[in-house]
A and B are shown apart, each in its own frame.
Chain A
């Protein structure tokens, strides 16, 4: 079971932390256990968690994308094995995905890049539309949906999107790539309480110690000396 090497939900359950976030993690964990017990084993590894909002096609797209952006190697497991798809699913299902802290009144005009985001879409809707457009382009250019491509082809496709040279149908491929890269990095490096950065893999990769971050004396003690400890997260202190 995917959750076995992730101590956070279990710890949240055992300690019985009172926060809403911890509570939702606990129930998710329980839900995941029931669904894996009864459902057919899904196609991608992260599906064992169940999703809040992503469709199976979106989940497959994100898994393929984050595993290309963060491939498994000696430094970390793959992006999806680090929980990045779970992170994205929860972010898009929540306030952020629904357009919190986004001015959404019209009229809508394209504008200049320096004027910033001008689409009527919430982040949830933006990613949905972007995945449809990217898969359509992928089928035209390479004959398959993005997640069906071989790893080398996925890498080539993402590079083309990043370069800004790809014309997606009614969608800005470069803008979509930048949003995809940003939410992937958030999922890889945010506190594991959000479902990504599982086992603090992102933090371990760079040597970020996380919490409690009280360095009053350590800043002198470790001057020009690597401070290397087992990283700790919000859940470890909850």
Chain B
């Protein structure tokens, strides 16, 4: 029997970005909050310190800050007719494993989604007609517009100290910024990072071709910055260790730098690390949850934590699996397209682009950051005319140097052997002279890409693993082909000595190599409880005191990194809880 604890106003399941934002907002409003985190607690001063933080083997290859699949992983297959097998090693995506979540080891790219991304289906129908959308493509509008979410995007920008250059300030286009972005109410909190030589070369070539390059927005402060909570971030050191690692300079935004110091000092807040929530306690008739059951991973002891409000703030897969394990909502069935939990799983098209070699350029590839790069949105979303192209969506391009860590970064021209004397020679010769245009594509929902529970494999607590059924579809291959070829045109204009082949992905999705931690969907937002899990305030249709955060609420995935809207939505939902739900607990939207 679980030991029953004293009730609190709200409990967070997961203490990454969204759990931290929500806990901060609710305690500020006077509520008592407990933050439960499966992993251990960390502090940047102890865990992200020199010299040991500069360790490529430990962080990139042994995945120090990444979820342990021995505790919980998922099974994977390409299509419903196949047998799913467990992802025994983390590869394609890397959820976090500690207080701070995946934000401990994220790269920091910080975007807002386009106004047309928020209105994905209706925008396409308006511009190209309803027949432009294939019948199996289950794309949807978001449950709020860009304009509605803008103040919350703005707030999250100012929490993180995002560095960048606005391209649309209150409706005025600003040269040098992203001319395609939605209107911003204010300029970025910090100026862009310094650009690498490769980024400047890309910018020049792209401009000459008539495109609109701009500094890639990044949650690394380009200078010391005091955020809206009064906490100070350091200036970026261009160390080349951003992704997969913690930030020694406290320049990369994350809960530990931007919020947690205040929560740790807050008497209304309690942080409980090593507390693994196995299910929610669901009162189906009352359409509410009464608390959560969790296991203390140090002792194995089980506890029941009653709470007035439960916030699911785990990673995408954790949120979805907790709904299944708690029997909240109807599982999605791809054959009938009925049910909601697990539908509209999307990912991102990555590991694409072009590598170039410039024999007379010196890049010092180890000096950089993901944001020390120029981006280009001319082939993203619906920023270009899709008439006659036969696909929807697009890709984001970027060029710069983020990381010269040599176990992983060893560019050699095509045709070079992978080992032996000739490999050594080519590696030594080219390390300083290569640059790459990276292409990252949107991934629009398909009825056969979804999540449910696996019939065979179990996690460490004995619960069934989540089962992922996912593959690329025709639309994805066309996006990759078209946009990578467009990137190759810019690469040629940069006039390299040697140009590698355009990396266009063909064949089935592969769960082994790292691609991006940009999984989305499964608990999607919407206006109709028959086709969505949460309403526009991220409130569950099936339990009015359950709020579900994060990218699991996205109906489809644009080409951007998801953290910007993830943070904005947490602020948006927190405000709805404080201003609307607390005054009159119950459904905030009547279907």
A interface residue numbers (CB < 8 A to B): 19, 68-71, 73, 75-76, 96, 99-105, 107, 109, 111-118, 155, 158, 162, 181, 184-186, 189-191, 193-194, 202-203, 205-216, 218-220, 222-227, 233-234, 236-238
B424 interfacial by beta-carbon distance below 8 Å: yes
**Which residue from chain B places its CB closest to the CB of A185 in the assembled complex?**
B407
Instruction: Name the segment of B236-244, B484-492, B536-544 touching the other chain.
Output: B236-244
Given A70-B424, A202-B406, decide whether A215 and B88 contact each other with a Cβ distance below 8 A: no
A79 to B89, CA, bound (A): 27
Residues A208 and B66 in contact, CB atoms below 8 Å apart: no
Docked complex Cα distance between A233 and B406 (Å): 13
| B236-A216 in contact (CB<8A) | yes
CB interface residues, B 192-245, toward A, < 8 Å: 194, 196-197, 235-241
- Chain A nearest CB, measured from B401 CB (Å): 9
| Residues on the B chain within 8 Å of A191, using CB | 54-57
> When chains A and B are docked, how far (Å) is the Cα of A19 from the Cα of B460?
31
- B73 and A103 contacting across the interface, CB-CB below 8 Å: yes
Q: Determine how close the nearest CB of chain A comes to the CB of B457; give it in whole angstroms.
A: 6
> Chain B interface residue count: which class?
35 or more
A190 touching B424, Cβ below 8 Å = no
B418-449 to A contact mask, C-beta < 8 Å, 1/0: 11110011011001100000000000000000
Q: How far is the CB of A134 from chain B (nearest CB, A)?
A: 16
23 contacts across the A-B interface (CB closer than 8 A): A73-B424, A100-B68, A100-B70, A102-B89, A103-B73, A103-B88, A104-B88, A113-B512, A114-B510, A116-B512, A189-B406, A202-B406, A205-B427, A208-B366, A208-B406, A208-B431, A212-B51, A215-B238, A216-B237, A220-B194, A234-B51, A234-B52, A234-B55
Give Cα A103 to B239, complex, Å.
Answer: 33
Q: Of residues 356 to 385 in B, which have CB atoms within 8 Å of A's CB atoms?
A: 361-364, 366-368, 372
Which residues of B in the span 45-76 have a Cβ within 8 Å of any Cβ on A? 50-52, 54-57, 61-63, 66, 68-70, 73, 76
With a cutoff of 8 Å between Cβ atoms, the chain A residues found around residue B363 in the complex are: 224
In the bound assembly, the distance between CA atoms of A109 and B57 in angstroms comes to 30
- In this complex, the member of B86, B425, B508 whose beta carbon has the largest number of chain A beta carbons within 10 angstroms is B86
B77 an interface residue at 8 Å Cβ cutoff?
Answer: yes
Q: How far is the CB of A192 from chain B (nearest CB, A)?
A: 11
- Is the pair A234, B85 in contact by a Cβ cutoff of 8 Å? no
Q: Which residues B559-575 have CB closer than 8 A to chain A?
A: none
Name the prevailing secondary structure of the B interface residues. loop
B503-555 with Cβ < 8 A to chain A: 508-512
Q: Does B90 interact with chain A (Cβ within 8 Å)? A: yes
Q: How far is the CA of A206 from the CA of B426 in the complex (A)?
A: 10
Measured between beta carbons, the chain A residues less than 8 angstroms from B91 are: 116
B456 on interface, CB distance cutoff 8 Å: yes
Classify the interface of chain A: helix, strand, loop or mixed: loop
Q: How far is the CA of A70 from the CA of B421 in the complex (A)?
A: 7
Q: Supply 15 further A-B pairs (C-beta < 8 A) apart from A109-B85, A216-B238.
A: A71-B420, A103-B88, A104-B70, A104-B88, A114-B509, A117-B89, A117-B512, A186-B57, A207-B428, A215-B237, A215-B238, A215-B239, A216-B237, A222-B364, A222-B367
Q: Note all chain A residues with C-beta closer than 8 A to B78.
A: 112, 114
CB–CB B407/A190 < 8 A: yes
Q: Knowing A69-B419, A102-B69, A218-B367, say if A211 contacts B54 (CB, 8 Å).
A: yes
**A205 pairs with B237, CB closer than 8 A:** no
A64 to chain B, nearest CB (A): 13
> What residue of chain B has the Cβ atom nearest to residue A109's Cβ?
B85
Interface presence of B107 (CB below 8 A): no
> B418 — which chain A residues lie within 8 A by C-beta?
162, 181
Within 8 A of A (CB), among B66-118: 66, 68-70, 73, 76-78, 83, 85-91
A-B CB proximity, top 9 nearest: A237-B51, A206-B431, A190-B57, A213-B239, A215-B367, A103-B69, A215-B238, A114-B510, A69-B419
Q: Are A101 and B69 closer than 8 Å at their CB atoms?
A: yes
B338 at interface by CB-CB < 8 Å: no
Closest A-chain residue to B240, C-beta based? A213
Neighbouring A residues of B367 by C-beta, 8 Å: 215, 218-219, 222, 227
B165 beta carbon closer than 8 Å to chain A: no
Taken together as a complex, chains A and B put the C-alpha atoms of A207 and B406 apart, in Å, by 10
Give the residue of A75, A100, A105, A233 whose beta carbon is less than 8 angstroms from that of B425.
A75
CA distance A28 to B68 in the complex (A): 29
Docked complex Cα distance between A193 and B66 (Å) = 22
A115: contacting residue among B52, B77, B235, B368, CB under 8 A: B77
